């Protein structure tokens, strides 16, 4: 075990994609573990679009990361040494580990880290993806807000991403016609051939809006929206009366100075219901969600995929991959 800790600290608020220097790579000594403290080695880091929001000085659902602070990040860490009553050596913990090699638990944390249960045939990384925050986001967005009914048409944007791919499959489990929007033929092929979506629309093709129309002959009842902007506008334009929009993300705007704008006119004329949604509001119900997602996965009804990048130093590039479409499924950095 090293006695120094490599960390990424926030040094500048990015303009657009992350640039070198926005995150400062530093090495700090690890203090000895005292009573009530624990030290854990970070094994996996979860790359999530919301990290880009946390880096920006804009109104948001948690405080923006301050300059000089270790960059906030979800991850999975293994306890190496513990003098904390809650944790013992070997425990695998999920929570906000930060972008660093070691998580030092000093006992002042507001919320405990969640222990990964030993589930046969389930990889640890599943607890960052399909059984983690991204899977839970899909679960509660679909089950609590969209409430899909058999025969309805569901359109998911960023459909080949960690959340979109699960949301679409939950739609299939409930008997929906499911159309995914993603960038590139490989992703679209995975949606249909790998996950059983009824159609995959490649928004990089010039005729994608016609394809979306052809794939939704009965209009759209539910939009699980992760992207915003032009993709959202095209989807809203095909919504049926009284359709529901689960507003889960607006990733197309996260790297822009000016957010993607939209007209509320369609919302009015079509009497749509739009519900903005952040997974942290469902923290009290995570156990229910993990249990159901785990059953679906165990019975082969839910497939997940990961894109693994190796090495802490690759994190800035990995974050940018989320916005340039580089990953399929859950993007994870392995340390």
The secondary structure element, H or E, covering residue 222 is: strand 220-225
Backbone angles phi, psi at 88, to 5 degrees: -130, 160
* Least separation in angstroms between CB 50 and its own copies: 10
Environment class of residue 165 by beta-carbon count within 10 Å: exposed (0-12), middle (13-18) or buried (19+)?
Answer: buried
For its own copies, which stretch binds (CB under 8 A), given 84-92, 136-144, 273-281, 319-327?
Answer: 273-281
Does residue number 168 form part of the binding site for its own copies (CB under 8 A)? no
* Least separation in angstroms between CB 241 and its own copies: 8
Q: Site size for its own copies, by CB under 8 A?
A: 32
Task: Report how far residue 200's alpha carbon sits from residue 223's, in angstroms, rounded to the nearest whole number.
Answer: 14
Task: Report how far residue 45's alpha carbon sits from residue 52's, in angstroms, rounded to the nearest whole number.
Answer: 15
* Least separation in angstroms between CB 140 and its own copies: 12
Residue from 66, 268, 283, 287 binding its own copies (CB under 8 A)? 268
Neighbouring residues of 290: CB distance < 8 A, sequence distance ≥ 6: 131, 135, 136
Residue from 75, 141, 200, 228 binding its own copies (CB under 8 A)? 228
For its own copies, which stretch binds (CB under 8 A), given 110-118, 163-171, 264-272, 320-328?
Answer: 264-272
> Among positive and negative, which fits the CA dihedral 235, 268, 276, 173?
negative
CB atoms within 10 A of CB 63: 9
Does residue number 196 form part of the binding site for its own copies (CB under 8 A)? no
Does residue number 275 form part of the binding site for its own copies (CB under 8 A)? yes
* Least separation in angstroms between CB 226 and its own copies: 10
Report yes or no: 134 and 162 within 8 Å, Cβ to Cβ: yes
Task: Report how far residue 178's alpha carbon sits from residue 192's, in angstroms, rounded to the nearest whole number.
Answer: 10
Rank residues 93 and 247 by Cβ distance to its own copies and give the closer one.
Answer: 247
Does residue number 31 form part of the binding site for its own copies (CB under 8 A)? no
Residue from 106, 193, 207, 281 binding its own copies (CB under 8 A)? 281
Task: Report how far residue 318's alpha carbon sits from residue 320's, in angstroms, rounded to the nearest whole number.
Answer: 5
Residue from 109, 264, 291, 308 binding its own copies (CB under 8 A)? 264
For its own copies, which stretch binds (CB under 8 A), given 30-38, 167-175, 265-273, 319-327?
Answer: 265-273
Does residue number 276 form part of the binding site for its own copies (CB under 8 A)? yes
Task: Report how far residue 259's alpha carbon sits from residue 40's, in angstroms, rounded to the nearest whole number.
Answer: 38
Report yes or no: 179 and 247 within 8 Å, Cβ to Cβ: no
Does residue number 271 form part of the binding site for its own copies (CB under 8 A)? yes
Query: ∠ CA(96), CA(101), CA(103), 5° rounding?
Result: 45
Residue from 116, 138, 247, 309 binding its own copies (CB under 8 A)? 247
Does residue number 61 form part of the binding site for its own copies (CB under 8 A)? yes
Question: Which is nearest to 322 in space by CA: 30, 53, 6?
Answer: 53
Give the orientation angle of helix 162-173 with respect to helix 133-140, to 10 degrees: 40
Does residue number 277 form part of the binding site for its own copies (CB under 8 A)? yes
Does residue number 150 form part of the binding site for its own copies (CB under 8 A)? no
Residue from 66, 108, 217, 261 binding its own copies (CB under 8 A)? 261
Does residue number 218 form part of the binding site for its own copies (CB under 8 A)? no
Residues found near its own copies in the complex (CB under 8 A): 59-61, 228, 232, 242, 247-250, 253, 259-278, 281
């Amino acid at each position: 075990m090293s006695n120094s800790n490599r960390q990424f600290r926030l040094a500048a608020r990015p303009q657009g994609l992350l640039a070198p220097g926005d995150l400062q790579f530093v090495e700090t000594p690890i203090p000895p573990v005292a009573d009530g403290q624990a030290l854990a080695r970070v094994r996996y880091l979860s790359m999530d679009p919301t990290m880009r929001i946390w880096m920006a000085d804009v109104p948001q659902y948690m405080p923006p990361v301050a300059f000089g602070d270790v960059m906030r990040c979800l991850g999975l860490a293994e306890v190496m040494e513990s003098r904390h009553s809650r944790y013992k050596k070997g425990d695998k913990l999920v929570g906000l580990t930060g972008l660093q090699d070691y998580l030092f638990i000093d006992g002042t944390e507001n919320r405990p880290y969640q222990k990964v249960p030993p589930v046969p045939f389930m990889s640890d990384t599943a607890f960052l993806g399909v059984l983690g925050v991204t899977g839970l986001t899909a679960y509660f967005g679909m089950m609590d807000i969209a409430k899909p009914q058999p025969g309805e048409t569901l359109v998911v944007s960023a459909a080949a991403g960690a959340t979109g791919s699960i949301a679409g499959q939950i739609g299939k489990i409930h008997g929906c016609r499911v159309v995914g929007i993603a960038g590139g033929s490989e992703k679209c092929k995975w949606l249909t051939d790998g996950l059983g979506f009824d159609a995959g629309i490649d928004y990089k093709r010039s005729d994608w809006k016609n394809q979306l129309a052809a794939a939704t002959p009965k209009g759209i009842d539910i939009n699980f929206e992760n992207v915003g902007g032009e993709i959202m506008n095209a989807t809203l334009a095909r919504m049926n009366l009284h359709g529901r929009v689960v507003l889960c993300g607006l990733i197309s705007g996260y790297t822009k100075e000016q957010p993607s704008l939209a007209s509320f006119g369609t919302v009015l004329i079509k009497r749509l219901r739009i519900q903005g949604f952040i997974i942290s509001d469902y923290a009290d119900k995570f156990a229910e969600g993990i249990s159901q997602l785990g059953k679906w996965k165990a019975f082969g009804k839910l497939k997940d995929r990961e894109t693994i990048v190796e090495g802490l130093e690759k994190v800035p590039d990995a974050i940018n991959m989320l916005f340039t479409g580089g990953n399929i499924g859950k993007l994870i950095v392995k340390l």
